[in-house]
Amino acid sequence: MKTVYDVAQLLKKYGIIVYLGKRQWDIEMMEYELTELFKHKLLDREVYARARSILKVELDKEKAKNKVVD
């Protein structure tokens, strides 16, 4: 697992499809869904940690890209 797409495919295996229309929102919702799967013991710790780290990096990039420079 290396990309946000890979994380989306992981979620899809559990019947979860995330599309909110804005990449930042999509990534935030994917983080939420991953956490819920982990809480319910459907994901092991390594998979959860790897997916969260991918999403965290991408979310930081997205926030930096969308930040308005004054």
User: pLDDT tens for residues 19-42?
Assistant: 999 999 999 999 999 999 999 999
- Quick one: pLDDT at residue 67? 84
Query: Tokens in use for 46?
Result: 């390594």
Distances (CA, A) of 34 to 46, 66, 68: 12, 24, 29
| The pLDDT of residue 26 | 97
Dihedral sign from CA coordinates of 25, 30, 35, 36: positive
Q: At what angle do helices 4-13 and 23-39 cross, to 10 degrees?
A: 50
pLDDT for 63 equals 92
Euclidean distance between CA atoms 64 and 8, whole angstroms: 22
C-alpha dihedral sign at 40, 27, 63, 55: positive
